[in-house]
Amino acid sequence: MINLETPKKIRPLIDQAHQVAMNMLRPISRKYDQAEHEYPVELDMLAAMIDGLADSGASEGAGATGVRRDDKPVEAGNKNGANLASVLSIMEMCWGDVGLTLSMPRQGLGNSAIASVANDEQLKKFEGTWAAMAITEPSFGSDSAAITTTAVKDGDEYILNGEKIFVTAGDRADSVVVWATLDKSLGRAAIKSFVVQKGTEGMRVERLEHKLGIRASDTAVIIFDNCRVPAENILGNEEIDVKEGFAGAMATFDNTRPLVAAMAVGCARASLDLTRDVLKNAGIEIDYDKPAYSQSAAAATFLQLEADWEAAYLLTLQSAWMADNRQPNSMEASMAKAKAGRMGSDVTLRCIELAGTLGFSETDLLEKWGRDSKILDIFEGTQQIQQLIVARRILGLSSAELK
């Protein structure tokens, strides 16, 4: 049974993440929002600290590399492991800054893909890499099954051809996890992921995007033109299992969607914390012992926003906890992503309204959090795609039966 209290063993990690967010990320948040595409060099020291914790064995869940599932038997009871630790620490980091969190070396979404799908030999081979993840293409957004980038076997290599867009950390990362199809005629089952290391001939960064939010994070367009990748860099195995379908590739999302939900929860929490102070300074009291209808409109709105935040927070914890306890969490991961993504946009924008001119100006970070939160409702599968996945799971229908 899930315990909603923060596990004692994870509290030191959460405290450390909060201190980093407050003392390292917040002070440089505006600087790198305004200096889009400039690499935040301050993160190198932070990455070195995380690497040191990893070497000492004290960093379970400290970032994207902590979401590895294994096949070890689960003891009866309640296991609070790396997935739960990861989402809780990510929440704290994104309370500081979402874009900077996404810019952390060796903590890319591609690292989660490697942790989720790679075999033990590949985990060793790619240990220490900073991996971006390339899925989206110009011809599609959230429908990952529509991938047209091809991977053709040629001896001991695969030849990749295609274009990927909106690749987070695509220019800065050491490698890119690229989703491609081995055989278009076999549909979803033929989609595999490849680790393409930086400098590989045939792979080039075409351009960097200018964005509404998360400006500290680089977002790249990457072209693959007869790019040769060693066959051993295909994550998992090369076999096409039509019975398994898309399940192997989609296992990545069961781990990364709770992380994105945690980002939205952290960013929204930052907005609520600051807005509470703004309201207090304006003489508006928020009384948790009185019904909302008997309080001011601002206080009642704030209470509703906090309730919405709490729901997203709990769904996120549930999806991560299920992963730790080796329970199927695909539906819950999509529920958490859908709820948190929508909540993040709603809460940050309503906080801007409640704060008045302070919310709209660059005096504080409220307007920035409103811009940053929007992407969290889009990438890793849009709001609409998440609702579709949840509906399929509840109704027991396939993707072909419910589109």
Active site annotation includes 60: no
**Cβ distance 24 to 96 under 8 Å?**
yes
- 162 beta partners: 224
Three-state secondary structure string covering 174-223: CEEEEEEECCHHHHHHHEEEEEEECCCCCEEEEEECCCCCCCCCCEEEEE
- Beta strands 175-181 and 157-168, pairing class: unpaired
The first and second tokens of residue 322, run together, are 């299920």
- Do the beta carbons of residue 116 and residue 251 sit within 8 Å? yes
DSSP secondary structure, 118-182, as one string: --HHHHHHTTT--EEEE--BTTBSS-GGG---EEEEETTEEEEEEEEEEEETTTTSSEEEEEEES
Can you tell me the distance from the alpha carbon of 234 to that of 64, in angstroms, rounded to the nearest whole number?
A: 20
Instruction: Give me the catalytic one of 60, 92, 332, 380.
Output: 380
Cα→Cα distances 260→80, 86, 253, 272, 337, Å: 19, 11, 10, 19, 7
User: Residue 357: CB partners within 8 Å, gap ≥ 6?
Assistant: none
Number of neighbouring beta carbons within 10 Å of residue 50:
20
Cα distance between the two ends of the chain? 34
Contact by Cβ (8 Å): 234, 193: yes
Rounded CA-CA distance 359/341 in Å is 20
- Count CA atoms within 13 Å of residue 255 on its CB side: 33
Task: Confirm if 173 and 108 have CB atoms less than 8 A apart.
Answer: yes
Which residues are identified as catalytic? 380
